Amino acid sequence: MINIEEYKDPQHHIETSKFLNPKKLYLPLSQHTGKPSIACVKRGDMVEEAAQIAESSAFISTNLHAPKKGKILNIDTWFHPNLKKSEAIFMDCLDQESNYQTRGNIESLKKEELIDIIKNNGIVGLGGAAFPTYVKLSPPKEIDTFIINGCECEPYLACDYRLMKENLNEIFIGIEIINKIIQPKKIIFAIEENKRDILEKIKSLMVNKKYNLPSIEIAVLKTAYPQGGEKQLIYATTKRKVAGGKLPFDTGCLVHNVATLFAIYEAIYLNKPLIERLVSFAGDSLVSPKNVWVKIGTTLKEIFDQKILKFKDSPKKIICGGPMMGVSLNKLDYPILKGTGGFLFLNKEISEVEESPCIRCGRCLDSCPMNLMPLEYAKRIKVEEYDRLEEYNINDCMECGCCTYTCPSKIPIVQYIKVGKKYLPTSS
């Protein structure tokens, strides 16, 4: 764990705005962990807002819906922040608002029906990994602890904070739904110390007893990175460790991000699929950093063309995601995906100090949340020595970037680790 400057100002305390009228949308079929979805529309089709346009293709996959009413222009390859290029559905949108009606008799919905609605509406984890939510809700083992992740430990990003600030009621309804589905023994709401005002709001909501919930334990964690990582969060709140290669349910825990809970609320109550999300736009190259509700598939280019954002100077780096795990981009044509929490436009904070020899200071070791020895990986992978990496548990590494952040020699350790993982000798 490391302490990093947060850089959450000013987007932290600016009210969210909306940009829900894009002209064009580019919807990659691979926006989630797992197999890409399969398009179920063809060129020239007219689709209504919220109509399904691609369907789940495997157990770990999900559906995709039209974020706006419009015409399918094409299905072709388009830029993708993580994959560089991937198959995507191109859409031309009509400037029309859609209304969502509250679903009746929600009380009578059964567990399986709730999971089905979540599955059909294409809900994935909105914390970054975009893992299909319904899979997490039907675990092969009993879940006794449900943890709500409100940490948002990456610097700059503030969309989860703003969502908790403005839509805590809806998040609580989401908690209610999950509670009904998995019936855990314990519910823990985890936030970092730097979000104390949310703590008060949660307490007052709990006093009201408006929600059909058992008592929720609030865990105030120290502000550190990567406090919001699933494994770190489970350890910090329950002292249970999710070992390398294991999944959270192995320890009886289920973690959901607050934004996912909001999406679950919308799916169940409004029958609204996951077609828009709150995204942080931040960094010192923007005139006014802010959090904006945008349609999935909107490109950065369109956001700038519509003057939703303006550059103050020319950024040195554009990053999709947080500064610790995000991907740097080379153009503005990239679309917003379901799992995109933010875009950063950085100039002054980017310093490219040249790499120098490792002085074995051990800072990478001290900072590693998974108790690894990052310097060993860098040393070995540099000379293409891949055979003993597994002895040092290289696959436990989640590439959080703490080691590289703290390295005084500016060695791109995470980059070496990524290479090393690809060249591991195939063991039986």
Please report, as ranges, the residues that interact with other proteins according to CB under 8 A. 4, 155, 231, 235, 241, 243-244, 246, 304, 310-319, 321, 323-332, 344, 346, 349-353, 356-362, 365-366, 368-373, 375, 392-393, 396, 399, 401, 404-410, 412, 414-415, 418
Which of 110, 410 has the CB closer to other proteins? 410
How far is the C-alpha of 23 from the C-alpha of 38, rounded, in Å? 24
Which of 158, 318 has the CB closer to other proteins? 318
Q: Which helix (H) or strand (E) holds 201?
A: helix 196-208
Which of 134, 334 has the CB closer to other proteins? 334
* Minimum CB distance to other proteins, residue 369 (Å): 8
Which of 35, 317 has the CB closer to other proteins? 317
* Minimum CB distance to other proteins, residue 118 (Å): 30
How far is the C-alpha of 17 from the C-alpha of 45, rounded, in Å? 31
Which of 167, 237 has the CB closer to other proteins? 237
How far is the C-alpha of 426 from the C-alpha of 417, rounded, in Å? 16
CA distances (Å), origin 129, targets 33, 102, 325: 7, 29, 11
First to last CA, the chain: 33
CA-based radius of gyration for the chain: 21
* Minimum CB distance to other proteins, residue 402 (Å): 8
* Minimum CB distance to other proteins, residue 377 (Å): 13
Which of 207, 353 has the CB closer to other proteins? 353
- Within 10 Å of residue 185's Cβ, how many Cβ atoms? 11
- Residue 100 sits at φ, ψ, to 5 deg, of -115, 130
Which of 24, 418 has the CB closer to other proteins? 418
159 contacts 280 by C-beta, under 8 angstroms: yes
Which of 58, 129 has the CB closer to other proteins? 129
| Residue type at 67 in one-letter notation | P
Which of 175, 407 has the CB closer to other proteins? 407
How far is the C-alpha of 367 from the C-alpha of 403, rounded, in Å? 6
* Minimum CB distance to other proteins, residue 410 (Å): 6
* Minimum CB distance to other proteins, residue 319 (Å): 6
In the block, which residue shows the tokens 């007219």? 46
Q: In sequence order, what E strands does 9-51 have?
A: 17-19, 24-28, 38-39, 46-47
* Minimum CB distance to other proteins, residue 376 (Å): 9
* Minimum CB distance to other proteins, residue 406 (Å): 5
With left for phi above 0 and alpha for psi between -120 and 50, is residue 251 left, alpha or beta? alpha
* Minimum CB distance to other proteins, residue 328 (Å): 5
- Residue 149 sits at φ, ψ, to 5 deg, of -95, 105
CA distances (Å), origin 248, targets 15, 143, 168: 34, 9, 25
Half-sphere exposure of 182 (CA within 13 A, CB side): 28
